[in-house]
Amino acid sequence: MLTDAATDLAPAALRLPQNQLLAALPEPERGQLLAQCETLRVQAGQLLFEPGQRPGFMFFPLDTLVSLLAVADGRMTLEVGVVGREGMLGASVLHAGRPVQLRAVVQRSGRVLRIEAACFARLFEQMPVLQHLLQRYTDALLAQVIQIAVCSRFHMLEARLARSLLMTRDRLQSEKFHLTHEFLAQMLGVRRVGVTKAASALQEKKLIGYSRGNIEILDGAGLEQAACHCYGLVREEGVLGLGQVLR
């Protein structure tokens, strides 16, 4: 369930969209869509969706990151995707209100654009360009989910952690960000002690600095070498390459 979030006073339609998917729309369609949006501030750890829910809203991240977590037995989680300013959340509403299958948790505090699902569905039917963009986006997101699922099954934890940190860096366009041991454990589907060991190994190689959840990538090229090849595949073929997909 989406918890309380602060609503910005200025209308979303008056802003130049920072969301790449919305920015790729022709101006008339983009303006029509933005006029129905409101801008919300969301906090790290905030739930946007739970598996089995039928979303009442669609979300377009602006400067935040949202983790998509597969949930087993109601408590065990594994990150299978990340959505940032390149995409959206809640597309299942376009499939006869089908319930969402993943948990969506805010990874980094920031802002999202929110639109009522029923309103978005009506606009979607009227905008062929939007239909085309969302089809390409969902294909790219599916490619990411599949690749990360394969990665989680076959690759070592240290390489997976390196891949996850690089994906976060790429979306935030920053070498510094905040991720707690607890959140990393949820993302990687392991216990906190496993995260500690993997992070310590990367620190010993002077690839990252990590203290109290504050992460700094010290050697990006080295971290890419430490990551599994899934990082390159997700970057080139998945959602991280959406800039090319939307052109």
What was the pLDDT predicted at 10? 45
The model's pTM is 0.85
Q: Are 121 and 53 in contact (CB under 8 A)?
A: no
What was the pLDDT predicted at 92? 76
What was the pLDDT predicted at 236? 73
What was the pLDDT predicted at 144? 87
Residues of the chain with pLDDT under 70: 1-17, 96-97, 237-247
Alpha carbons 109 and 68: distance in angstroms, whole number: 15
What was the pLDDT predicted at 247? 56
What was the pLDDT predicted at 123? 94
Q: Are 48 and 153 in contact (CB under 8 A)?
A: no
What was the pLDDT predicted at 72? 86
